[in-house]
Amino acid sequence: MSRDTFPFTSTSLRSLRLEQEYQEWQDARQALAQRRAMTRAPLPRAPRPPPQQRQLQEVRVPPPQVRCRDTAIHNTFMFGDMKGVYAVLKDPAMVNAVMETVHEEMVWTPEMGMWTLSSKVRQTSALCLAASRGHTGCVEELLFRGAEVNADPGGRTALHEACIGGHAACVRLLLANGADPELLASDGSAPLHLCTSAQSVQCAELLLEAGAEVNVRMRESRLTPLHVASRRGQEEHVELFLSYKADVLVTNQEGETPLNAACSGAERPSEFGRYLRVIQMLLDAGADPRTAGRKQHTPLHNACANCCSRIVEVLLQHGARADVTNCAGYTPMDCLLQVVEDYPDQQPEAIARSLLNHGAKAVSPKMLKQCVLSPATVEVMLNSYPSVPPCDWMDFLSAEINEEHLPFFELVRQQSGQPRSLQHLCRWALRLHLGARCHSAVSQLDVPSSVRDYLLLREEGSLR
Protein backbone atom coordinates (compact mmCIF):
# COMPACT_ATOMS: atom_id res chain seq x y z
CA MET A 1 0.00 0.00 0.00
CA SER A 2 1.15 3.62 -0.67
CA ARG A 3 0.64 6.67 1.45
CA ASP A 4 -0.40 8.52 -1.62
CA THR A 5 -3.30 6.11 -2.12
CA PHE A 6 -4.28 5.45 1.54
CA PRO A 7 -3.47 8.32 3.82
CA PHE A 8 -2.67 7.24 7.45
CA THR A 9 -2.95 9.41 10.51
CA SER A 10 -0.43 9.31 13.31
CA THR A 11 -2.87 7.35 15.45
CA SER A 12 -3.31 4.69 12.82
CA LEU A 13 0.38 4.24 12.38
CA ARG A 14 0.89 3.87 16.08
CA SER A 15 -1.80 1.18 16.32
CA LEU A 16 -0.25 -0.77 13.50
CA ARG A 17 3.13 -0.62 15.13
CA LEU A 18 1.82 -1.83 18.50
CA GLU A 19 -0.03 -4.71 16.83
CA GLN A 20 3.12 -5.74 14.99
CA GLU A 21 5.15 -5.69 18.22
CA TYR A 22 2.52 -7.78 20.01
CA GLN A 23 2.55 -10.37 17.24
CA GLU A 24 6.34 -10.60 17.36
CA TRP A 25 6.19 -11.04 21.15
CA GLN A 26 3.67 -13.90 20.78
CA ASP A 27 5.85 -15.62 18.16
CA ALA A 28 8.92 -15.33 20.39
CA ARG A 29 6.95 -16.78 23.34
CA GLN A 30 5.75 -19.82 21.38
CA ALA A 31 9.28 -20.47 20.07
CA LEU A 32 10.63 -20.36 23.64
CA ALA A 33 7.96 -22.83 24.84
CA GLN A 34 8.84 -25.25 22.05
CA ARG A 35 12.53 -25.11 22.89
CA ARG A 36 11.80 -25.83 26.56
CA ALA A 37 9.57 -28.76 25.67
CA MET A 38 12.36 -30.24 23.59
CA THR A 39 14.88 -30.07 26.42
CA ARG A 40 12.63 -30.89 29.47
CA ALA A 41 12.74 -34.44 31.02
CA PRO A 42 9.50 -36.43 30.52
CA LEU A 43 7.03 -36.34 33.41
CA PRO A 44 6.54 -39.61 35.40
CA ARG A 45 3.47 -41.73 34.60
CA ALA A 46 0.45 -41.15 36.77
CA PRO A 47 0.16 -43.79 39.54
CA ARG A 48 -2.29 -46.64 38.85
CA PRO A 49 -5.23 -46.85 41.23
CA PRO A 50 -5.26 -49.75 43.71
CA PRO A 51 -7.00 -52.97 42.55
CA GLN A 52 -10.21 -52.24 44.42
CA GLN A 53 -10.49 -48.87 42.69
CA ARG A 54 -9.76 -50.07 39.17
CA GLN A 55 -12.49 -49.74 36.68
CA LEU A 56 -14.35 -52.94 35.86
CA GLN A 57 -13.39 -54.51 32.60
CA GLU A 58 -15.98 -54.60 29.94
CA VAL A 59 -17.83 -57.93 29.86
CA ARG A 60 -19.28 -59.02 26.61
CA VAL A 61 -22.59 -60.80 26.78
CA PRO A 62 -22.34 -64.22 25.13
CA PRO A 63 -24.57 -64.78 22.18
CA PRO A 64 -27.92 -66.44 22.96
CA GLN A 65 -27.74 -70.23 23.10
CA VAL A 66 -29.14 -72.07 20.13
CA ARG A 67 -32.14 -74.31 20.81
CA CYS A 68 -33.07 -77.08 18.43
CA ARG A 69 -36.27 -79.11 18.28
CA ASP A 70 -35.61 -80.67 14.91
CA THR A 71 -36.09 -84.42 15.32
CA ALA A 72 -33.94 -85.12 12.28
CA ILE A 73 -30.98 -83.37 13.89
CA HIS A 74 -31.56 -85.23 17.15
CA ASN A 75 -31.56 -88.54 15.29
CA THR A 76 -28.34 -87.59 13.53
CA PHE A 77 -26.48 -87.60 16.84
CA MET A 78 -28.45 -90.46 18.38
CA PHE A 79 -27.63 -92.80 15.51
CA GLY A 80 -24.09 -91.53 14.97
CA ASP A 81 -24.61 -90.55 11.33
CA MET A 82 -21.22 -88.95 10.75
CA LYS A 83 -22.14 -87.58 7.32
CA GLY A 84 -25.11 -85.84 8.87
CA VAL A 85 -23.01 -84.74 11.85
CA TYR A 86 -20.54 -82.95 9.57
CA ALA A 87 -23.41 -81.25 7.77
CA VAL A 88 -25.03 -80.07 11.04
CA LEU A 89 -21.75 -78.87 12.53
CA LYS A 90 -21.09 -76.54 9.62
CA ASP A 91 -22.88 -74.10 11.90
CA PRO A 92 -20.44 -73.77 14.87
CA ALA A 93 -23.31 -72.80 17.18
CA MET A 94 -24.78 -76.31 16.86
CA VAL A 95 -21.88 -77.87 18.78
CA ASN A 96 -23.30 -76.74 22.11
CA ALA A 97 -26.91 -76.26 21.04
CA VAL A 98 -29.63 -77.30 23.48
CA MET A 99 -31.63 -80.17 22.00
CA GLU A 100 -35.25 -79.99 23.13
CA THR A 101 -37.89 -82.68 22.88
CA VAL A 102 -41.54 -82.28 23.80
CA HIS A 103 -43.32 -85.13 25.58
CA GLU A 104 -46.99 -85.45 26.43
CA GLU A 105 -47.55 -86.58 30.01
CA MET A 106 -50.63 -87.13 32.14
CA VAL A 107 -50.58 -84.74 35.11
CA TRP A 108 -53.01 -84.65 38.02
CA THR A 109 -54.56 -81.21 38.48
CA PRO A 110 -56.08 -80.86 41.97
CA GLU A 111 -58.01 -77.71 41.12
CA MET A 112 -59.85 -79.58 38.34
CA GLY A 113 -59.91 -82.95 40.10
CA MET A 114 -58.83 -84.85 37.01
CA TRP A 115 -55.86 -86.01 34.94
CA THR A 116 -54.89 -83.73 32.10
CA LEU A 117 -52.47 -84.05 29.22
CA SER A 118 -49.53 -81.71 29.67
CA SER A 119 -46.54 -80.99 27.46
CA LYS A 120 -43.13 -81.39 29.08
CA VAL A 121 -39.97 -80.08 27.46
CA ARG A 122 -36.85 -82.13 28.06
CA GLN A 123 -33.42 -80.78 27.29
CA THR A 124 -30.17 -82.44 26.34
CA SER A 125 -27.18 -81.79 24.10
CA ALA A 126 -25.64 -83.32 21.02
CA LEU A 127 -22.79 -84.68 23.14
CA CYS A 128 -25.21 -86.30 25.58
CA LEU A 129 -27.21 -87.86 22.76
CA ALA A 130 -24.13 -89.36 21.15
CA ALA A 131 -22.67 -90.57 24.46
CA SER A 132 -25.94 -92.18 25.54
CA ARG A 133 -25.84 -94.42 22.45
CA GLY A 134 -22.10 -95.09 22.57
CA HIS A 135 -21.14 -93.39 19.28
CA THR A 136 -17.47 -92.81 20.02
CA GLY A 137 -16.66 -91.20 16.65
CA CYS A 138 -19.44 -88.68 17.05
CA VAL A 139 -18.38 -87.90 20.63
CA GLU A 140 -14.78 -87.41 19.52
CA GLU A 141 -15.83 -85.05 16.71
CA LEU A 142 -17.96 -82.94 19.05
CA LEU A 143 -15.19 -82.67 21.62
CA PHE A 144 -12.72 -81.70 18.89
CA ARG A 145 -15.05 -78.89 17.82
CA GLY A 146 -15.30 -77.51 21.35
CA ALA A 147 -18.31 -79.22 22.91
CA GLU A 148 -18.59 -78.47 26.64
CA VAL A 149 -17.78 -81.81 28.23
CA ASN A 150 -19.44 -81.04 31.60
CA ALA A 151 -22.53 -79.32 30.22
CA ASP A 152 -25.79 -80.68 31.68
CA PRO A 153 -28.72 -78.90 30.01
CA GLY A 154 -31.09 -81.71 30.97
CA GLY A 155 -29.67 -82.38 34.41
CA ARG A 156 -27.13 -85.01 33.35
CA THR A 157 -23.78 -84.69 31.62
CA ALA A 158 -22.51 -86.82 28.75
CA LEU A 159 -20.51 -88.86 31.29
CA HIS A 160 -23.71 -89.70 33.18
CA GLU A 161 -25.36 -90.79 29.95
CA ALA A 162 -22.41 -92.94 28.89
CA CYS A 163 -22.37 -94.70 32.29
CA ILE A 164 -26.10 -95.42 32.10
CA GLY A 165 -25.58 -97.09 28.74
CA GLY A 166 -22.43 -98.90 29.86
CA HIS A 167 -20.35 -97.42 27.02
CA ALA A 168 -16.80 -97.73 28.36
CA ALA A 169 -15.13 -96.29 25.21
CA CYS A 170 -17.15 -93.09 25.50
CA VAL A 171 -16.44 -92.89 29.23
CA ARG A 172 -12.70 -93.19 28.56
CA LEU A 173 -12.87 -90.49 25.88
CA LEU A 174 -14.88 -88.08 28.03
CA LEU A 175 -12.58 -88.51 31.02
CA ALA A 176 -9.55 -87.89 28.82
CA ASN A 177 -11.13 -84.59 27.75
CA GLY A 178 -11.76 -83.28 31.24
CA ALA A 179 -15.09 -84.77 32.29
CA ASP A 180 -15.63 -84.52 36.06
CA PRO A 181 -16.02 -88.07 37.45
CA GLU A 182 -17.73 -86.81 40.63
CA LEU A 183 -20.16 -84.25 39.18
CA LEU A 184 -23.67 -84.83 40.54
CA ALA A 185 -26.67 -84.90 38.24
CA SER A 186 -29.84 -82.96 39.01
CA ASP A 187 -31.25 -85.98 40.85
CA GLY A 188 -28.16 -86.06 43.08
CA SER A 189 -26.47 -89.11 41.55
CA ALA A 190 -22.81 -89.33 40.57
CA PRO A 191 -21.63 -91.27 37.50
CA LEU A 192 -20.69 -94.21 39.75
CA HIS A 193 -24.29 -94.49 40.96
CA LEU A 194 -25.42 -94.90 37.36
CA CYS A 195 -23.17 -97.87 36.59
CA THR A 196 -26.03 -100.29 37.14
CA SER A 197 -25.96 -102.58 34.12
CA ALA A 198 -23.87 -105.70 33.72
CA GLN A 199 -21.88 -103.94 30.97
CA SER A 200 -21.05 -100.93 33.12
CA VAL A 201 -18.45 -102.53 35.40
CA GLN A 202 -15.66 -101.31 33.10
CA CYS A 203 -17.15 -97.82 33.23
CA ALA A 204 -17.02 -97.93 37.01
CA GLU A 205 -13.41 -99.07 36.90
CA LEU A 206 -12.48 -96.17 34.59
CA LEU A 207 -14.19 -93.70 36.92
CA LEU A 208 -12.34 -95.02 39.95
CA GLU A 209 -9.03 -94.92 38.09
CA ALA A 210 -9.79 -91.29 37.20
CA GLY A 211 -10.13 -90.41 40.89
CA ALA A 212 -13.85 -90.83 41.57
CA GLU A 213 -14.66 -91.25 45.28
CA VAL A 214 -15.84 -94.81 45.88
CA ASN A 215 -18.01 -93.74 48.83
CA VAL A 216 -19.63 -90.79 47.06
CA ARG A 217 -23.21 -90.27 48.28
CA MET A 218 -26.39 -89.28 46.53
CA ARG A 219 -27.58 -85.85 47.54
CA GLU A 220 -30.78 -86.80 49.38
CA SER A 221 -30.89 -90.57 49.84
CA ARG A 222 -27.21 -90.71 50.92
CA LEU A 223 -26.77 -93.94 48.97
CA THR A 224 -23.26 -95.00 47.99
CA PRO A 225 -22.37 -96.95 44.83
CA LEU A 226 -21.97 -100.03 47.05
CA HIS A 227 -25.58 -99.62 48.22
CA VAL A 228 -26.78 -99.48 44.62
CA ALA A 229 -24.72 -102.44 43.44
CA SER A 230 -25.70 -104.54 46.47
CA ARG A 231 -29.38 -103.75 45.99
CA ARG A 232 -29.13 -105.02 42.41
CA GLY A 233 -27.03 -108.06 43.27
CA GLN A 234 -24.16 -107.06 40.97
CA GLU A 235 -21.28 -109.30 41.97
CA GLU A 236 -18.58 -107.74 39.80
CA HIS A 237 -19.47 -104.21 40.86
CA VAL A 238 -19.47 -105.12 44.55
CA GLU A 239 -16.12 -106.88 44.19
CA LEU A 240 -14.69 -103.83 42.38
CA PHE A 241 -15.92 -101.35 44.99
CA LEU A 242 -14.64 -103.49 47.84
CA SER A 243 -11.22 -103.67 46.15
CA TYR A 244 -11.20 -99.84 46.30
CA LYS A 245 -11.95 -99.95 50.06
CA ALA A 246 -15.64 -99.18 49.90
CA ASP A 247 -17.15 -98.80 53.38
CA VAL A 248 -19.43 -101.78 54.14
CA LEU A 249 -20.71 -100.14 57.34
CA VAL A 250 -21.83 -96.87 55.74
CA THR A 251 -25.55 -96.12 56.16
CA ASN A 252 -27.97 -94.26 53.92
CA GLN A 253 -30.64 -91.78 54.99
CA GLU A 254 -32.78 -94.64 56.31
CA GLY A 255 -29.86 -95.99 58.35
CA GLU A 256 -29.45 -99.08 56.15
CA THR A 257 -26.13 -100.62 55.16
CA PRO A 258 -25.27 -102.28 51.82
CA LEU A 259 -25.99 -105.62 53.51
CA ASN A 260 -29.55 -104.46 54.25
CA ALA A 261 -29.86 -103.42 50.62
CA ALA A 262 -28.66 -106.79 49.32
CA CYS A 263 -31.00 -108.78 51.58
CA SER A 264 -34.00 -106.67 50.59
CA GLY A 265 -33.15 -106.93 46.88
CA ALA A 266 -33.13 -110.75 46.79
CA GLU A 267 -36.81 -111.02 45.86
CA ARG A 268 -36.79 -113.54 43.00
CA PRO A 269 -35.83 -117.17 43.66
CA SER A 270 -33.97 -117.29 40.34
CA GLU A 271 -31.62 -114.56 41.62
CA PHE A 272 -30.96 -115.96 45.10
CA GLY A 273 -27.61 -117.45 44.03
CA ARG A 274 -25.92 -114.23 42.97
CA TYR A 275 -27.39 -112.30 45.90
CA LEU A 276 -26.02 -114.95 48.24
CA ARG A 277 -22.55 -114.45 46.76
CA VAL A 278 -22.85 -110.66 47.15
CA ILE A 279 -23.94 -111.06 50.77
CA GLN A 280 -21.06 -113.42 51.45
CA MET A 281 -18.59 -110.87 50.03
CA LEU A 282 -20.05 -108.12 52.21
CA LEU A 283 -19.89 -110.30 55.33
CA ASP A 284 -16.30 -111.30 54.56
CA ALA A 285 -15.46 -107.58 54.23
CA GLY A 286 -16.78 -106.89 57.73
CA ALA A 287 -20.48 -106.15 57.29
CA ASP A 288 -22.52 -106.49 60.49
CA PRO A 289 -25.74 -108.53 60.07
CA ARG A 290 -27.17 -107.01 63.27
CA THR A 291 -27.20 -103.44 61.97
CA ALA A 292 -30.79 -102.24 61.70
CA GLY A 293 -32.20 -99.24 59.87
CA ARG A 294 -34.24 -96.45 61.39
CA LYS A 295 -37.27 -98.75 61.46
CA GLN A 296 -35.19 -101.38 63.27
CA HIS A 297 -35.49 -103.65 60.23
CA THR A 298 -32.44 -105.91 60.11
CA PRO A 299 -31.01 -107.84 57.14
CA LEU A 300 -32.54 -110.97 58.68
CA HIS A 301 -36.01 -109.39 58.57
CA ASN A 302 -35.51 -108.69 54.85
CA ALA A 303 -34.20 -112.17 54.08
CA CYS A 304 -37.14 -113.81 55.86
CA ALA A 305 -39.61 -111.54 54.07
CA ASN A 306 -38.10 -112.76 50.78
CA CYS A 307 -38.16 -116.40 51.96
CA CYS A 308 -34.56 -117.20 51.05
CA SER A 309 -33.39 -120.03 53.30
CA ARG A 310 -29.71 -119.98 52.26
CA ILE A 311 -29.35 -116.26 52.94
CA VAL A 312 -31.09 -116.66 56.32
CA GLU A 313 -28.72 -119.45 57.26
CA VAL A 314 -25.63 -117.41 56.31
CA LEU A 315 -26.82 -114.40 58.31
CA LEU A 316 -27.52 -116.53 61.37
CA GLN A 317 -24.08 -118.15 61.11
CA HIS A 318 -22.53 -114.66 61.16
CA GLY A 319 -24.30 -113.60 64.33
CA ALA A 320 -27.70 -112.27 63.25
CA ARG A 321 -30.23 -112.29 66.09
CA ALA A 322 -33.34 -114.38 65.48
CA ASP A 323 -35.45 -112.82 68.24
CA VAL A 324 -35.01 -109.10 67.46
CA THR A 325 -38.12 -107.01 66.71
CA ASN A 326 -38.53 -104.06 64.36
CA CYS A 327 -40.40 -100.84 65.11
CA ALA A 328 -43.73 -102.56 64.31
CA GLY A 329 -42.98 -105.34 66.80
CA TYR A 330 -42.37 -107.99 64.12
CA THR A 331 -39.68 -110.61 64.51
CA PRO A 332 -38.00 -112.33 61.54
CA MET A 333 -40.35 -115.28 62.16
CA ASP A 334 -43.35 -112.95 61.81
CA CYS A 335 -41.96 -111.69 58.50
CA LEU A 336 -41.63 -115.28 57.31
CA LEU A 337 -45.18 -116.28 58.24
CA GLN A 338 -46.57 -113.28 56.35
CA VAL A 339 -45.14 -114.59 53.06
CA VAL A 340 -45.50 -118.37 53.36
CA GLU A 341 -48.54 -118.21 51.09
CA ASP A 342 -46.44 -116.42 48.44
CA TYR A 343 -43.47 -118.81 48.61
CA PRO A 344 -44.84 -122.29 49.53
CA ASP A 345 -42.26 -123.92 47.23
CA GLN A 346 -39.23 -122.03 48.59
CA GLN A 347 -38.78 -124.23 51.68
CA PRO A 348 -40.19 -121.86 54.30
CA GLU A 349 -39.90 -124.78 56.75
CA ALA A 350 -36.09 -124.58 56.46
CA ILE A 351 -36.17 -120.91 57.46
CA ALA A 352 -38.53 -121.57 60.38
CA ARG A 353 -36.27 -124.40 61.57
CA SER A 354 -33.14 -122.21 61.32
CA LEU A 355 -34.78 -119.38 63.25
CA LEU A 356 -35.99 -121.72 66.01
CA ASN A 357 -32.55 -123.33 66.25
CA HIS A 358 -30.94 -119.91 66.73
CA GLY A 359 -33.13 -118.63 69.53
CA ALA A 360 -36.44 -117.58 67.96
CA LYS A 361 -39.42 -118.11 70.23
CA ALA A 362 -42.29 -120.36 69.22
CA VAL A 363 -45.10 -118.38 67.63
CA SER A 364 -48.62 -118.14 68.95
CA PRO A 365 -50.83 -121.08 67.81
CA LYS A 366 -53.14 -118.51 66.24
CA MET A 367 -50.40 -117.81 63.68
CA LEU A 368 -50.45 -121.39 62.38
CA LYS A 369 -53.26 -120.50 59.97
CA GLN A 370 -50.74 -118.41 58.01
CA CYS A 371 -48.65 -121.43 57.06
CA VAL A 372 -51.34 -124.01 56.21
CA LEU A 373 -50.16 -124.02 52.58
CA SER A 374 -46.86 -125.50 53.79
CA PRO A 375 -47.51 -128.62 55.92
CA ALA A 376 -43.76 -129.03 56.49
CA THR A 377 -43.69 -125.59 58.12
CA VAL A 378 -46.70 -126.55 60.26
CA GLU A 379 -44.80 -129.64 61.43
CA VAL A 380 -41.76 -127.60 62.46
CA MET A 381 -43.96 -125.15 64.35
CA LEU A 382 -45.91 -127.91 66.16
CA ASN A 383 -42.68 -129.60 67.25
CA SER A 384 -41.59 -126.38 68.94
CA TYR A 385 -44.51 -126.66 71.43
CA PRO A 386 -44.55 -128.92 74.50
CA SER A 387 -48.03 -130.06 73.41
CA VAL A 388 -50.16 -129.90 70.27
CA PRO A 389 -52.40 -126.82 70.52
CA PRO A 390 -56.10 -126.77 69.53
CA CYS A 391 -56.73 -127.26 65.83
CA ASP A 392 -58.82 -124.17 65.11
CA TRP A 393 -56.28 -123.17 62.50
CA MET A 394 -57.12 -126.28 60.45
CA ASP A 395 -60.37 -124.63 59.36
CA PHE A 396 -58.21 -122.62 56.94
CA LEU A 397 -56.92 -125.76 55.19
CA SER A 398 -57.90 -126.14 51.56
CA ALA A 399 -59.50 -129.43 50.54
CA GLU A 400 -56.61 -130.11 48.17
CA ILE A 401 -53.90 -129.63 50.81
CA ASN A 402 -55.90 -131.63 53.38
CA GLU A 403 -56.34 -134.55 51.02
CA GLU A 404 -52.71 -134.53 49.88
CA HIS A 405 -51.39 -134.64 53.46
CA LEU A 406 -54.31 -136.44 55.07
CA PRO A 407 -52.29 -138.85 57.30
CA PHE A 408 -50.33 -135.98 58.83
CA PHE A 409 -53.34 -133.81 59.55
CA GLU A 410 -55.29 -136.77 60.98
CA LEU A 411 -52.38 -137.37 63.35
CA VAL A 412 -52.45 -133.70 64.38
CA ARG A 413 -56.19 -133.93 65.13
CA GLN A 414 -55.67 -137.04 67.21
CA GLN A 415 -52.90 -135.51 69.31
CA SER A 416 -54.56 -132.11 69.74
CA GLY A 417 -54.79 -131.43 73.48
CA GLN A 418 -52.99 -134.69 74.30
CA PRO A 419 -49.61 -134.93 76.05
CA ARG A 420 -46.62 -135.44 73.79
CA SER A 421 -44.22 -138.34 74.03
CA LEU A 422 -41.44 -138.37 76.62
CA GLN A 423 -38.94 -138.29 73.76
CA HIS A 424 -40.41 -135.05 72.46
CA LEU A 425 -40.57 -133.49 75.94
CA CYS A 426 -36.87 -134.28 76.44
CA ARG A 427 -36.10 -132.61 73.13
CA TRP A 428 -38.21 -129.60 74.06
CA ALA A 429 -36.54 -129.25 77.47
CA LEU A 430 -33.03 -129.52 75.98
CA ARG A 431 -33.80 -126.92 73.33
CA LEU A 432 -35.29 -124.61 75.94
CA HIS A 433 -32.11 -124.92 78.00
CA LEU A 434 -29.77 -124.23 75.09
CA GLY A 435 -31.77 -121.30 73.70
CA ALA A 436 -29.89 -119.37 71.01
CA ARG A 437 -26.96 -121.79 71.34
CA CYS A 438 -29.07 -124.74 70.24
CA HIS A 439 -27.73 -125.01 66.69
CA SER A 440 -24.05 -124.65 67.56
CA ALA A 441 -24.24 -126.91 70.64
CA VAL A 442 -26.21 -129.72 69.02
CA SER A 443 -23.99 -129.65 65.92
CA GLN A 444 -20.99 -130.41 68.14
CA LEU A 445 -22.61 -133.35 69.94
CA ASP A 446 -21.03 -136.76 69.31
CA VAL A 447 -24.31 -138.44 68.49
CA PRO A 448 -25.72 -140.15 65.39
CA SER A 449 -26.87 -137.80 62.66
CA SER A 450 -30.46 -139.00 63.04
CA VAL A 451 -30.48 -137.87 66.68
CA ARG A 452 -28.91 -134.58 65.72
CA ASP A 453 -31.54 -134.01 63.04
CA TYR A 454 -34.29 -134.85 65.52
CA LEU A 455 -33.00 -132.33 68.04
CA LEU A 456 -32.78 -129.66 65.32
CA LEU A 457 -36.43 -130.23 64.27
CA ARG A 458 -35.69 -131.86 60.94
CA GLU A 459 -39.16 -132.53 59.47
CA GLU A 460 -40.23 -136.16 59.04
CA GLY A 461 -43.87 -135.83 58.00
CA SER A 462 -45.12 -136.85 61.43
CA LEU A 463 -45.19 -135.85 65.10
CA ARG A 464 -42.85 -137.74 67.49
Residue 145 maps to which CATH number? 1.25.40.20
Write the single-letter amino acid at 181: P
Contact (CB, 8 A) for 382 and 388: yes
- Give the structural domain span for 137: 66-108+115-181
What average pLDDT does the segment 421-437 reach? 92
Contact (CB, 8 A) for 129 and 106: no
Is there a domain that residue 90 lies in?
yes
Confidence of residue 7 (pLDDT cuts 50, 70, 90): low
Burial degree of 235 (CB within 10 A; 0-12, 13-18, 19+): middle
The three-point CA angle 181-182-188 to 5° equals 130
Least confident of 21-25, 44-48, 125-129: 44-48
Is there a domain that residue 160 lies in?
yes
Is there a domain that residue 145 lies in?
yes
Distance CA 98, CA 126 (A): 8
Those residues with Cβ within 8 angstroms of residue 298's Cβ, 6 or more apart along the chain or in another chain: 260, 289, 290, 291, 292, 320, 321, 324, 326, 332
Predicted pLDDT of residue 12 = 63
Is there a domain that residue 101 lies in?
yes
Per DSSP, what are the bridge partners of residue 107? 116
Is there a domain that residue 93 lies in?
yes
Predicted pLDDT of residue 1 = 44
Predicted pLDDT of residue 55 = 54
What average pLDDT does the segment 228-236 reach? 96
Contact (CB, 8 A) for 418 and 388: yes
Higher pLDDT, 23 or 331: 331
- Statement: residue 275 has pLDDT above 80: yes
Give me the DSSP letters along 129-193: HHHHTT-HHHHHHHHHTT--TT--TTS--HHHHHHHHT-HHHHHHHHHTT--TT---TTS--GGG
Query: Cα 92 to the chain's mean position, in Å?
Result: 36
Predicted pLDDT of residue 6 = 47
Confidence of residue 274 (pLDDT cuts 50, 70, 90): very high
- Statement: residue 30 has pLDDT above 80: no
Count of structural domains, the chain: 1
pLDDT in tens, 320-330: 999 999 999 99
Global pTM exceeds 0.75: yes
Is there a domain that residue 11 lies in?
no
- Statement: residue 150 has pLDDT above 80: yes
Least confident of 46-60, 408-422, 450-464: 46-60
Percent of the chain with pLDDT over 90: 62
Is there a domain that residue 51 lies in?
no
Mean pLDDT over the full length of the chain: 87
Predicted pLDDT of residue 60 = 55
Is there a domain that residue 456 lies in?
no
